[in-house]
Amino acid sequence: MASETAMAAENYEAVIGLEVHAHLATQSKLFCGCANSFGAGPNENVCPVCMAMPGVLPVLNRDAVELAIRMGLAAHCAIARESIFARKSYFYPDLPKGYQISMYERPLCVGGYVEIEANGERRRIRLVRIHMEEDAGKNIHEDGTSLVDFNRSGVPLVEIVSEPDIRSAAEAAAYLRELRALLRYTGASEARMEEGNLRCDVNVSVRPRGVEQFGTKTEIKNLNSIRFVEKAIAHEVARQIDILEAGGRIMQETHLWDPVREETRPMRSKEFANDYRYFPEPDLPPLRVTPEWIESIRVALPELPAARRERYVNALGLSRYEAAILTEEREVGDYFESVAAGLRNAKTAANWVMTEVLRVVNETGKPLAHAVPSARETGALLAMVEDGAISLNAAKTAFMAMCQSGKPAATIVRELGLAQVSDEAAIAEACDQIIETHLRKVGEYRAGRDKLFGFFVGAVMKAMGGRANPRLVNEILKRKLDQ
């Protein structure tokens, strides 16, 4: 049975498109001066404009436009010289005006693509558009009453709409990770899914392999973690294949993801059958963007993940895998580069950041800057390893101590006495002592039992408290035993 399903799945191809909503990281909301911040008390970040009092008017936040353009440029979009906000009408208690101001027919960013790597393959996922819109408030149901918190009302969003170029759950996850990286690199969004900064609607259909025509799609709404996106897609693709294999037809439906039961359920048609009655927002003039402004934003963009990955591979000699890990977060890449700058081999820094640094970041849950020592101190520590002043193991011990105490690398190494003994006379003396106390084994070694060499090294290291420079121990022992 299982193999039958697997066989059936082999014969189909999934066609997936994503609509991603990301909160823009502005100081204030999209159309009023209220703070755009997470975690305030209910209805603390509100004013007549975002509460839709009679007579109020929206005034566009220029910073939000700039952030949206940054994201558009990062995703290779064409930036429209003139775009238009529209009103999208529907009634809901958390939507104070009874319409959402959103771009519709003429969005700010058109086309473009995002490059992903999944299953060892690099692909371009094309974008349809990126447009700006405002968020709604939040309904809270408590003890039989409904309350509305309007703090989120009017918070700026970009909606990033992909073409149906994604072919698997893994690609969808890679695409989302790349979008998240772009949003963070450009500073457009903090893109924190757990705070609702990043939300995702997924369109899924399947078709027999080799067929051009798209199947009927279903939409899964409001996914708020990459893991859920992967699971929801896998579940939906399997469900659709099962239906088609059983001779059934896919209904064009909207599903909601249930994160507890880890499955999708169809929404009642009433929940989504809306005629939004879009028309151009008469309270806002067309948004005009000059080429000079676009250019000034373009030149101020930081190096983006894809370019960084290429540089890490081609100039620093890292593997694609290492480059991918190190570039997912801008701070991680920045940190890695600062550490590597003082070292002879970038690989040393790469290994260290990927193992030690990211482990500490994950374990503490703190942002990188607060979790680990400064890149300068970590670099100083690894330079000692490269110079043979300390062993790799000693460096790990020192690093943890640095994380705890915040003291400089040199201080920690001295305080913990981790410095390697590279004094040749001292090592030679220890070697002589070991040779004298194990004369019988020396004889056996000299008679041809080469394997015993390791035993002598271990004994010398032990005698020196593990701090002897292993390279020198090897050299000196060899010389003495081979005499």
Counting Cα atoms < 13 Å in the Cβ hemisphere of 471 gives 10
Instruction: Enumerate the β-bridge partners of residue 149.
Output: 138
Nearer to other proteins, 285 or 443 (CB): 285
From the list Zn ion, other proteins, none, which binds 50 (C-beta under 5 to 8 Å, kind-based)? Zn ion
**Binding characters for Zn ion, 22-61, by CB under 5 A (x = yes):** ----------x-x------------x-xx-----------
Of residues 354-373, which lie at the interface with other proteins (CB under 8 A)? none
- Comparing CB distances to Zn ion, the nearer of 49 and 418 is 49
- CB of 456 within 8 A of CB of 432? no
64 belongs to the binding site for Zn ion (CB under 5 A):
no
CB-wise, 89 or 351, nearer to other proteins? Answer: 89
Please identify, using beta-carbon distances, which residue of 227 and 277 lies nearer to other proteins. Answer: 277
Structure tokens at 14: 């999934």
Residues composing the chain: 483
Q: Is 278 in the site for other proteins (CB under 8 A)?
A: yes
CB-CB contact of 131 with 103 (8 Å): yes
Matching residue, tokens 């090294």: 457
Q: How far apart are CA 468 and CA 461, in angstroms?
A: 6
Sketch the per residue contact string, 27 through 66, with other proteins: x for CB under 8 A, - otherwise: ---------------------x--xxxxxxxxxx------
Report the residue number, 58 or 333, with the smaller CB distance to other proteins: 58
Cβ proximity to Zn ion: between 34 and 384 the closer is: 34
Task: By CB under 8 A, tell whether 140 contacts other proteins.
Answer: no
Q: Residue 450: what residue type? A: D
Whether the Cβ atoms of residue 390 and residue 418 lie closer than 8 Å to each other: yes
Q: Quote the distance between the C-alpha of residue 85 and its chain's center.
A: 30
Q: How far is the CB of 52 from Zn ion (least distance, A)?
A: 10
CA distance 153 to 167: 35
- Decide if 26 contacts 132 (C-beta within 8 A): no
CB of 255 to other proteins, least distance (A): 23
Least separation in angstroms between residue 45's CB and Zn ion is 7
**Which of Zn ion, other proteins, none does 34 bind, CB closer than 5 to 8 A by kind?**
Zn ion
Q: Is residue 458 at the binding interface for other proteins, with CB under 8 A as the rule?
A: no
CA 305 remoteness from chain centre: 10
Cβ at position 282, least distance to other proteins in Å: 4
Burial per residue of 332-354, b for 16 or more beta-carbon CB atoms within 10 angstroms, e otherwise: bbbbbbebbeebeebebbbebbb
Which residue in 395, 375, 187 sits closest to 297, CA to CA?
Answer: 187
State the nearest-atom distance from the C-beta of 115 to other proteins, in Å: 37
Q: How many residues bind other proteins (CB under 8 A)?
A: 30
Which residues ranging from 395 to 414 are in contact with other proteins (CB under 8 A)? Answer: none
Angle, alpha carbons 129-135-138 (nearest 5°): 145
Single residue of 98, 208, 317, 406 touching other proteins by CB under 8 A: 98
The alpha carbon dihedral of 397, 399, 401, 403 has a sign of negative
Which residues form the interface with Zn ion (CB under 5 A)?
Answer: 32, 34, 47, 49-50
Which residues form the interface with other proteins (CB under 8 A)?
Answer: 48, 51-60, 87, 89, 91-93, 96-99, 146, 148, 275, 277-279, 282-285
